[in-house]
């Protein structure tokens, strides 16, 4: 069972001042979501292409993306990136039917903080963004071998509705598509 977060836990939208912390956190946490057999080279390539300072600068400039950073005593401990709009992946569009949709594209917590309540606090902030943005459904993809993440999302009301593929280094991985309809909170 998750412990209650300490009072110094905060969540806030990411700013350009947060980029160095965010890039380091993203590089540290992304490998946690990769299934066994994903090579270090493939992970490094993905991080360089999608989780670099340049990539996050582009994400911050995109009005359809929302980035949230969780901090404990001013140290970055988790982050989420969400995307509003039509699902771009045809596999997702076929199973996420309600609109407007809100994708939880990235959702990571530093492993030192697993079980501390940080992820639950961050999820509350993300679902609040979806609610205030008028989304009828939240969706996300989670690797089929990541049982810990699947249990966390299920605990927060997400259900498997289909599958999709996720490319890391040219290797396709199988993800579940999970959705949560309103009410969010």
Looking up tokens 């989420």 gives 80
CA separation (Å) from 91 to 82, 130, 141, 163?
A: 18, 22, 11, 7
Could you report the per-residue pLDDT of 103-138, keeping only the tens digit for each?
A: 999 999 999 999 899 999 999 999 999 999 999 999
pLDDT for 2 beyond 90? no
* pTM recorded for the entire structure: 0.90
CA atoms within 13 A on the CB side of 150: 12
Instruction: Report pLDDT for 67.
Output: 98
Alpha-carbon distance of 14 to 21, in angstroms, equals 10
Domain 9-181 homologous superfamily, CATH: Gcn5-related N-acetyltransferase (GNAT) (3.40.630.30)
3-state secondary structure of 89: coil
Q: What is the mean pLDDT of residues 26-55?
A: 91
List pLDDT tens digits, range 50-78: 999 999 999 999 999 999 999 998 899 99
Is the model's pLDDT at 41 over the cut of 60?
yes
Q: Which residue has the tokens 């990136």?
A: 81
Please compute the mean of the pLDDT values over residues 28-48 and round it to a whole number.
Answer: 89
Q: What is each CA distance from 131 to 16, 19, 21, 35, 59, in whole angstroms?
A: 25, 26, 27, 31, 21
Q: Which range is least confidently modeled, 35-49, 107-121, 132-146, 166-180?
A: 166-180
Higher pLDDT, 79 or 32: 79
* Tokens representing residue 63 in the block: 């009005």
Q: Residue 184: pLDDT above 60?
A: no
SS3 139: strand
More confident: 55 or 2: 55
What does the pLDDT read at residue 141? 96
Smallest Cα–Cα separation from 142: which of 183, 104, 94?
104
Q: Which residue has the higher pLDDT, 169 or 180?
A: 180
Rg, Å, the chain Cα set? 15
Do the Cβ atoms of 33 and 143 come closer than 8 Å? yes
Mean pLDDT throughout 79-107?
95
Task: Give the whole-angstrom CA distance, residue 169 versus residue 185.
Answer: 37
What is the C-alpha to C-alpha distance for residues 132 and 120, in angstroms, rounded to an integer?
A: 18
| Whether pLDDT at 185 is above 50 | no
Q: How confident is the model at residue 4 (pLDDT cuts 50, 70, 90)?
A: low
């Amino acid at each position: 069972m998750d412990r209650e977060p300490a009072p110094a836990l905060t969540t806030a939208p990411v700013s350009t001042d947060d980029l160095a912390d965010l890039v380091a956190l993203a590089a540290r946490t992304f490998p946690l979501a990769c299934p066994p057999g994903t090579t270090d080279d493939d992970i490094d390539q993905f991080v360089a292409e999608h989780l670099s300072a340049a990539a996050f600068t582009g994400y911050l400039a995109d009005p359809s993306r929302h980035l949230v950073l969780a901090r404990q005593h001013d140290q970055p401990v988790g982050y989420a990136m969400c995307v509003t709009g039509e699902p771009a992946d045809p596999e997702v569009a076929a199973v996420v039917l309600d609109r407007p949709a809100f994708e939880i594209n990235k959702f990571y917590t530093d492993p030192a903080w697993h079980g501390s309540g940080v992820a639950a606090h961050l999820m509350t902030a993300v679902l609040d963004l979806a609610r205030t943005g008028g989304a009828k459904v939240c969706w996300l993809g989670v690797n089929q071998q990541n049982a810990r993440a699947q249990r966390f999302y299920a605990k927060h009301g997400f259900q498997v509705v289909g599958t999709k593929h996720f490319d890391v280094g040219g290797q396709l991985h199988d993800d579940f598509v999970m959705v949560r309809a309103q009410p969010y909170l």
